[in-house]
């Protein structure tokens, strides 16, 4: 069996998060056998948004694809990068069709991989949840169906990210994709992975021996924090309701995500392993 291994790291928070990706990739590649890396970069710019420079830094650190979330346009200049076909970065697919940016990434695998591992096209897309989210979006279910229906390659394997607050919505999308997108004659969804809460969940599993699902990958960034932000500043804002700039924290830096193990021949997930790599101070 040709087993392709793809790592996906959750929300990259500020400079500690970008450092965590750079630290984690050689370990994912050399110790876990990962062939490619996807990261969510929506918080890469000091905790909110992703600048063109942040995107390039994540690419240099090893990312083969970068996705965004509800903070997608916090750095407006990212729109130009999103529009450029050459850059493997995508915005949420369920924003308006008029919003700038690609909705889908075709993952380029390294040339040196054995042909068996490169024999299927691999796509990545991300959708926003609609429950308890600050940015209004269209149906994530219908957006996935629309994008996959339009894919020109019926033998593709697709990794779907759902950037959402609600566990229920994330699990529902996994079951929807399993029901709708596992036919032998259409693109197949091999994983539905959650992001956005910044907290890794303990529910990684493979549904029906086909589709890997995990409610949240967790974040790359400082874990001595409140979801990446400075503890004292967050308490000042939440407890005392005083003015506070929620700076990105610094300590206990970790890279969190998951490793997907894919059976390329049969277009299915074999396993999903949670990843948590500590970055030395």
Task: List residues binding Fe ion (CB under 5 A).
Answer: 11, 43, 69-70, 196
Check 23, 71, 87, 198 and give the catalytic one: 71
Is residue 5 within 8 A of residue 31, CB to CB? The reply is: no
Q: What are phi and psi of 124, to 5 degrees?
A: -130, 135
Minimum distance from residue 164 beta carbon to Fe ion (Å): 8
Q: Which is nearer to Fe ion, 70 or 263 (CB)?
A: 70
Q: Which is nearer to Fe ion, 43 or 54 (CB)?
A: 43
Dihedral (CA of 204, 133, 130, 163) sign: negative
Mapped onto helix, strand or coil, the DSSP state of residue 175 is helix
Dihedral (CA of 276, 259, 58, 129) sign: negative
- Lateral strand order in the sheet of 105-106: 105-106, 122-128, 157-163, 188-195, 211-214, 205-207
Minimum distance from residue 135 beta carbon to Fe ion (Å): 9
210 token code pair:
């086909």
Tally of helices (H runs) and strands (E runs) in the chain: 6, 13
- The dihedral region occupied by 241, where left means phi > 0, alpha psi between -120 and 50, and beta the remainder, is left
Q: Which is nearer to Fe ion, 119 or 168 (CB)?
A: 168
Minimum distance from residue 151 beta carbon to Fe ion (Å): 26
Q: Which is nearer to Fe ion, 2 or 201 (CB)?
A: 201
Distance of CA 76 to the CA centre of its chain: 20
Minimum distance from residue 9 beta carbon to Fe ion (Å): 12
Question: Long-range CB contacts (< 8 A, 24+ apart) of 79-83?
Answer: 80/52, 81/52, 81/55
Q: Which is nearer to Fe ion, 165 or 263 (CB)?
A: 165
Secondary structure in 3-state letters for 110-125? CCCCCHHHHCCCEEEE
Q: Which is nearer to Fe ion, 137 or 189 (CB)?
A: 137
Catalytic-residue membership of 98: no
Catalytic positions are 71
């Amino acid at each position: 069996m040709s087993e392709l291994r793809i790592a996906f790291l959750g929300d990259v928070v500020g400079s500690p998060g970008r450092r965590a990706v750079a630290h984690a990739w050689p370990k994912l590649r050399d110790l876990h056998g990962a062939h490619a890396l996807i990261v969510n970069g929506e918080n890469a710019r000091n905790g909110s948004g992703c600048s063109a420079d942040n995107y390039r830094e994540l690419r240099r650190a090893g990312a083969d694809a970068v996705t965004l979330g509800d903070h997608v346009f916090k750095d407006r200049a990212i729109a130009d990068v999103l529009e450029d076909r050459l850059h493997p970065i995508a915005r949420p697919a369920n924003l308006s069709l008029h919003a700038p940016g690609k909705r889908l990434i075709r993952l380029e695998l390294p040339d040196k991989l054995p042909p068996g591992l490169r024999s299927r096209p691999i796509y990545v897309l991300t959708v926003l949840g609609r429950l308890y989210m600050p940015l209004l979006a269209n149906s994530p279910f219908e957006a996935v169906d629309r994008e996959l229906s339009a894919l020109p390659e019926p033998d593709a394997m697709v990794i779907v990210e759902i950037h959402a607050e609600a566990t229920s919505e994330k699990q529902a999308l996994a079951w929807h994709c399993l029901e709708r997108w596992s036919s032998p004659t259409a693109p197949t969804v091999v994983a539905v992975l959650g992001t956005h809460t910044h907290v890794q969940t303990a529910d990684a599993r493979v549904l029906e021996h086909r589709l890997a699902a995990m409610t949240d990958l967790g974040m790359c960034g400082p874990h001595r924090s409140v979801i990446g932000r400075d503890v004292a500043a967050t308490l000042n804002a939440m407890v005392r309701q005083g003015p506070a700039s929620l700076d990105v924290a610094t300590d206990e830096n970790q890279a969190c995500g998951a490793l997907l193990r894919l059976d390329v021949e049969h277009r299915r997930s074999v396993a999903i392993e949670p990843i948590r790599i500590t970055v030395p101070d």
